[in-house]
Amino acid sequence: MPPTCILDEDDALELLALLVTSARTQVDEAAEYGPMRLLAAAHRLGELIGARASAETAAAVSAALARMPPLAVPRDDGDGRDGRAHYVARLDDLCRTLAAHLVAHFGLDPA
């Protein structure tokens, strides 16, 4: 099966511009904005993947990213939980979910 093109030139330029301008903006912003900007880029890439990838990948990416909003930042929600620890746990969960899909997608041994 031939590889599927996920990004065309316009999409790649848009994502590149988001990453580069985010890097520049991050120099003058609070540290917690870095992960937020990366999540915004991940969500944009996820939208592009969803429109052009296999049904399995589109579903996995969409479900994983839906649990972590693009504008999420670590903060105390007033519920007694450590806001940073909760945020990191959510990012860890997102990483595990995507890793599980990669293992299945590439037919890797999860051990």
CB atoms within 10 A of CB 90: 15
Residue 26 near residue 34 (C-beta atoms within 8 A): yes
The predicted pLDDT at position 100 comes to: 93
d(CA 83, CA 77): 6
| Distance separating alpha carbons of residues 41 and 36, to the nearest angstrom | 9
pLDDT in the model for residue 2 = 54
Per the rule left: phi > 0, alpha: psi between -120 and 50, beta: everything else, 64 is alpha
Instruction: Look over the chain and give the mean of its residue pLDDT values, rounded to a whole number.
Output: 87
Whether pLDDT at 6 is above 90: no
pLDDT band of residue 61 (cuts 50, 70, 90) is very high
Q: Where do we find the tokens 């997102």? A: 94
- Inter-residue contact 61 to 44 (CB < 8 Å): no
Q: How far apart are CA 53 and CA 19, in angstroms?
A: 22
- pLDDT digit string (tens) for 13-48? 999 999 999 899 989 998 888 888 899 999 999 998
